[in-house]
Structure 1
Amino acid sequence: MTLKEISRQIGISVATVDRVLNNRGNVKPETYRKVMEKLGELNYKPNKSASFLSRKKEISVAVVFPELPDYFWSQIEKGVEVATEELRDYGLRIELFKSEKYDMEKQKQVVQDIIDSKAFDAIAVSPNDSEEMAELIDRAMDEGIAVCTFNNDSPFSKRLFYVGCDYRIAGRLAADMLCKMTGPGAKFGLITSDASSIPSATTFQLQQKITGFREVVAEQRAQLTQLLKLKQEEYDQPGIFADLFAQVDAVYVTSAKLHIVARHLEQAGLTGKMPLIGHDMTEEIYEDLQRQLVSATICQDPVNQGYLAVKTLFDYLAYNEPIDLKEHITKLELVTRENARYYI
């Protein structure tokens, strides 16, 4: 239904109908009432995309995330690409910024440069460290740049919304499965990473996984006897893992190092003997599941994370859609040897 057809049926000008639809004023109350009644009668809904196209406005979004682990961020990129293809004709422009490894200072500099450039309407960022990034997120928001977080949140910043998993539930899921695999009184080891430029810091995502894991361990009266917080280079030290395996009945890996821990488990001669759970899916982890080095892995829908972050920012900027949800929680899926083929 076009404006021309609506104006013909009501018997008023197209310009007047347009003023009513866009709340531009200068319309008599009786005319306004007639237009709204006719719109209701025709079940008319405005085409927001056509309205946006008519304004010929470009929406520029910077997407910022670490370069590693490549297998995970490539899935995020796929989601961003889907949103870009869907919205390119409506004015969306995307630019990707990959910060080097896990270096927080370099990531902060990337975001600082984006803000200073004044070339972007919005930033979607996966912060290496939630607290360190909060000040820059607040500055961007104060300068009129819309900011969302994805994959890792900065909940105490002014960010508009977060897209990603509930990582506390992810930790609970991991603990629940290990308790079922081991039985009462089991001793668990947990491996996490120091992924920040601050030696004592752990990302919000990892903190939440650990919190959830601890909750279920306490509820099930199991024991978390070992919590290893490793730097990246320490994953190459077999002795650390040999000591861990000797003291526990099962292991949970919160970081993106599940495949590496599986290699150490194999070298220790514990294939199929010690339950091992972690996160994400790669070709290597698929093979580890088939060989019973990994008992299960928890996938977190990265493609949808990339898509939702970009799509929600675009709708907010292009159509002034309110941010009703401050957290867009993506699904968690437990993958085992039997259903792994559907995730690779």
Structure 2
Amino acid sequence: MTIKEFAKEIGVSPATLDRVLNNRGNVKRETYEKVMEKIKELNYMPNKSASFLARMNDFSMAIVFPEHPDYFWKQVEKGIQVAIDEFRDFGLSVSIFRSEGYDLEPQKQMVQQLIDSGKYEAIALSPNDPLDMAELIDDGVDKGITICTFNSDSPLSKRLFYVGCDYRIAGRLAADALCKFLGGRTRIGLVMSYTNFQMQQKITGFREVVDEYDHIEMIGPLRLRQEDYDSPEVFADYFREVDGIYVSSARLDVVAKHLDELGIEQRPILIGHDMTEETKMYMERGIITATICQDPVNQGYLTVKSMFDHLVNGQKVGLKENITKLELVTKENALYYI
């Protein structure tokens, strides 16, 4: 239904209806209420594409995320590309930037350059360190740039919205699955890297559930630097101390490789996050019991779509957190996640 047709249906002029739909004011209270009541009755939704064409605006968006782990971000990028193809004809141009390594400073420098360039109406960011990045996000927002976060949130910043999973729930799911997989065994371990906000949320949720099992004892955790993952000997003693291990970092396949090569007679149950060809292989060989996937393709797509909707409508986002689903994957359904 066009604006003209809808205005005729309600009994007002197209100009009056346009003022109501776009919150431009200068409409009598009774007329406003009449229009809104009819909108609700007819379940009328403005056409976003038509709204854009009426404004004839172009929008430039930058997307920034780390280069590691490469397998994960390639899946996110698939979703981003789907959204780019969908919205390209409506004036949205998207530039992708991958920040170096896991370090914060190169990413901060990159985001600062994007803000200072003045080329972008919007920036979507997956911050390496959400707390340290908050001030920079706020600076960009104060300069009139719409900024959202995805995959990794910065909730204390002025970011417009977040797209990604709930990491506390991810940790809870990991603990619940691991404790159930243990059967009659009692000792569980936790492999973790640096404690950023994302990692803190996972571990908080994991410990919450473990504490609910009176017979379960937690050993560790094993705290590692990124370079430690290359050394099998770092894991050897810990593997022999526990009956089950949760890998909270993005290195599940690397930990599985070391567990396999060490040839421990009574191997601990191993669960972690994300899916790669290597993860699937270790599942088929019985080294990895399960992994938790966080819908990376949809994260990429929803980030671009949500930003496009906001830029076109010029309205506040209803959902401050667009939480994507978590799914427990075993060897029986692993092929659907590659």
Q: TM-score, normalised by structure 1?
A: 0.88
How much has 1:330 moved relative to structure 2?
0.7
What residue identity is the alignment partner of 2:134? A
CA distance in 2: counterparts of 1:107 and 1:139, whole angstroms: 15
Tell me the equivalent position of 1:245: 239
1:223 paired with 2:217, answer yes
Larger Cα Rg: Structure 1 or Structure 2?
Answer: 1
Describe the SS at the equivalent of 2:180.
helix
Tell me the equivalent position of 2:103: 103
8 Å CA contact 2:63–2:125 kept in 1: the answer is: yes
Describe the SS at the equivalent of 1:246.
helix
How much has 1:30 moved relative to structure 2?
10
What residue identity is the alignment partner of 1:205? Q
Tell me the equivalent position of 1:57: 57
Tell me the equivalent position of 1:181: 181
CA distance in 1: counterparts of 2:18 and 2:211, whole angstroms: 62
CA distance in 2: counterparts of 1:108 and 1:311, whole angstroms: 25
Describe the SS at the equivalent of 1:273.
coil
CA distance in 1: counterparts of 2:203 and 2:32, whole angstroms: 58
What residue identity is the alignment partner of 1:99? S
What residue identity is the alignment partner of 2:120? F
Once the two structures are overlaid, the 10-residue window that deviates more, 139-148 or 36-45, is 36-45
1:175-203 deviation line (CA, Å, top 9, x unaligned): 11111122356111111113xxxxxxx22
1:263 paired with 2:263, answer no
How much has 1:12 moved relative to structure 2?
9.1
Q: TM-score, normalised by structure 2?
A: 0.89
CA distance in 2: counterparts of 1:331 and 1:12, whole angstroms: 43
CA distance in 1: counterparts of 2:226 and 2:10, whole angstroms: 70
Once the two structures are overlaid, the 10-residue window that deviates more, 15-24 or 59-68, is 15-24
Structure 2 residues without counterparts, runs of 5 or longer: none
Q: Structure 1 113/218 Cα, relative in aligned 2: closer, same or farther at 3 Å?
A: same
Q: Structure 1 217/18 Cα, relative in aligned 2: closer, same or farther at 3 Å?
A: closer
1:75-105 deviation line (CA, Å, top 9, x unaligned): 1111111111111111111111100011110
- Number of residue equivalences: 337
* Coordinate RMSD, CA, aligned: 2.8
How much has 1:314 moved relative to structure 2?
1.5
1:320 paired with 2:314, answer yes
1:203 paired with 2:206, answer no
How much has 1:322 moved relative to structure 2?
2.5
Correspondent of 2:297 among 295, 303, 306: 303
Describe the SS at the equivalent of 1:323.
coil
